C-alpha cells in the first residue's frame, strides 16, 4: 500500500466526490479517476460505488478509515525519519567542546563516531557558556562540557538531554622546585576569571577547602586551560587543571601534583537539545550513550 493511494482514498472520503478529491490532490478529474481505477486494479477490489452520483465510498472501505489515517501518519513519520537520517549522513555532526575537552577527550569521541558511521565530525571549541549557546542556536548538534557531580545548574535549560560520558579530576600542579621556592611566601597561583566555569569551580569548591593559613598570590589569570598548563610548565605558579590534560606531563616529571591542596572531581557531560530538534544526529547520540560506562542522565 503506497502513501499516495491512501491519500487519494482519504481525499474522496473527506470531500465526498471524485471531482473535489481531484482538486485537493492537484489533479484534473480525468487524471484522478484513472489513478483511482489503477489503485483498484492493483488492490484487486472495488473501492467506490460508481452506480451513485456522486461516487460513494463502499461501506467496507469506510469501516477501514481509522486504519487508513493511522497508516498514513505512520508512513509520513517514516518518510521524515528516513529524510533526516539521509541529511545527517550528508551533513555530518557538529560537536562543540569546552576548551580543555577539545584537546583531551574529544579525540576519543570523534574516533568513535567516525569509526561507527560514515560521517564527518566538525569540532568547535569555546567556554562552557559559548558551548551551550551554540547548542541552543542550532549551530551545534552536541556539546561536551564539565559539570560538578551532584550540582544542578539552575541556568541549564530544561530543553537539554544529558548523558555522563566519564569523570575527570581538577588537580593542583606545578613545575618541579616551585613549592620549595614559595615556601616562605605566598604561593604563586595561576587563576581563572570568576565569570568562567573553572573560575567558579575554584571559588565555590576549591578555595573553601584550602588548608588553614595557606596564602596565595595570583601571578597570572587566563580562561584557557591550555595556557594555564603552559604557565605551570614555565614555573609561574600552581594551576588547577584537568587530570586528563596534565597526565602526560605528570608521568614525564614535567609537572608535580601539589601535596596537601584540594582536588575537585568533575563530570564530562554530553548534551543536546531535546524534543524534535534532537532527531538530528540521533544515531550518533545513541551510539555515544551506548558506550560502556555511559549512563543517560535525566533532563535538567
Q: In whole angstroms, what is the distance from residue 211 CA to residue 213 CA?
A: 6
Q: Does domain 91-163+266-287 have CATH number 3.40.50.720?
A: no
Please tell me which of 60-64, 112-116, 230-234, 284-288 the model is most confident about, judged by mean pLDDT: 230-234
Q: In whole angstroms, what is the distance from residue 101 CA to residue 97 CA?
A: 6
Inter-CA distances, 266 with 148, 155, 171, Å: 5, 18, 10
Whether 91-163+266-287 and 1-79 are alike in CATH topology: the answer is no
Average pLDDT score over residue span 171-181:
82
Inter-CA distances, 240 with 3, 59, 73, 250, Å: 60, 76, 55, 13
HSE of 210, CA atoms in CB hemisphere, 13 A: 14
User: Which three three-digit cell numbers place residue 203?
Assistant: 571559588
166-264 is classed in which CATH architecture? 3-Layer(aba) Sandwich (3.40)
| Residue 204 DSSP symbol | I
Domain ranges of the chain: 1-79, 91-163+266-287, 166-264
Per the prediction, the chain carries an average pLDDT of 82
Q: In whole angstroms, what is the distance from residue 210 CA to residue 6 CA?
A: 71
Query: What is the reported pTM?
Result: 0.64
pLDDT at residue 81 in the model = 67
- Residues pairing with 122 in the sheet: 94
Among residues 140, 152, 149, which one has the least CA distance to residue 273?
A: 140
Residue with cell 564527518: 120
Q: In whole angstroms, what is the distance from residue 174 CA to residue 268 CA?
A: 24
Average pLDDT score over residue span 59-79:
80
User: Which three three-digit cell numbers place residue 234?
Assistant: 614555565
Does pLDDT of 293 surpass 80?
no
Q: How confident is the model at residue 206 (pLDDT cuts 50, 70, 90)?
A: very high
Q: Does domain 1-79 have CATH number 1.10.10.10?
A: yes
Does pLDDT of 291 surpass 70?
no
Amino acid at each position: 500500500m503506497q502513501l499516495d493511494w491512501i491519500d487519494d482514498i482519504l481525499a474522496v472520503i473527506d470531500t465526498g466526490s471524485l471531482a473535489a478529491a481531484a482538486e485537493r490532490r492537484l489533479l484534473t478529474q480525468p487524471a484522478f479517476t484513472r489513478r483511482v481505477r489503477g489503485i483498484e486494479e492493483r488492490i484487486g477490489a472495488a473501492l467506490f460505488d460508481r452506480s451513485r452520483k456522486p461516487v460513494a465510498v463502499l461501506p467496507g472501505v469506510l469501516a477501514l478509515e481509522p486504519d487508513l489515517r493511522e497508516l498514513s501518519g505512520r508512513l509520513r513519520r517514516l518518510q521524515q525519519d528516513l529524510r533526516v537520517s539521509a541529511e545527517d549522513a550528508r551533513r555530518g555532526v557538529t560537536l562543540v567542546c569546552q576548551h580543555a575537552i577539545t584537546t583531551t577527550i574529544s579525540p576519543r569521541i570523534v574516533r568513535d563516531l567516525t569509526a561507527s558511521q560514515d560521517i564527518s565530525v566538525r569540532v568547535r571549541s569555546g567556554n562552557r557558556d559559548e558551548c551551550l549557546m551554540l547548542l541552543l542556536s542550532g549551530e551545534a548538534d552536541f556539546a561536551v562540557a564539565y559539570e560538578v557531580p551532584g550540582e544542578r545548574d539552575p541556568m541549564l535549560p530544561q530543553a537539554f538531554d544529558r548523558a555522563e560520558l566519564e569523570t575527570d579530576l581538577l588537580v593542583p600542579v606545578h613545575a618541579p622546585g616551585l613549592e620549595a621556592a614559595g615556601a616562605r611566601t605566598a604561593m604563586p597561583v595561576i587563576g581563572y576569571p570568576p565569570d568562567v566555569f573553572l573560575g567558579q569551580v575554584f571559588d565555590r569548591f576549591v578555595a573553601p577547602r584550602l588548608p588553614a593559613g595557606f596564602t596565595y598570590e595570583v601571578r597570572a589569570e587566563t580562561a584557557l586551560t591550555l595556557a594555564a598548563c603552559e604557565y605551570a610548565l614555565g614555573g609561574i605558579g600552581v594551576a588547577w587543571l584537568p587530570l586528563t590534560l596534565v597526565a602526560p606531563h605528570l608521568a614525564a616529571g614535567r609537572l608535580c601534583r601539589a601535596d596537601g591542596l584540594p582536588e575537585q572531581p568533575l563530570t564530562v557531560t554530553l548534551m543536546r537539545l531535546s524534543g524534535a530538534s534532537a532527531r538530528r544526529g540521533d544515531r550518533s547520540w545513541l551510539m555515544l550513550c551506548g558506550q560502556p560506562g555511559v549512563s543517560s542522565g535525566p533532563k535538567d
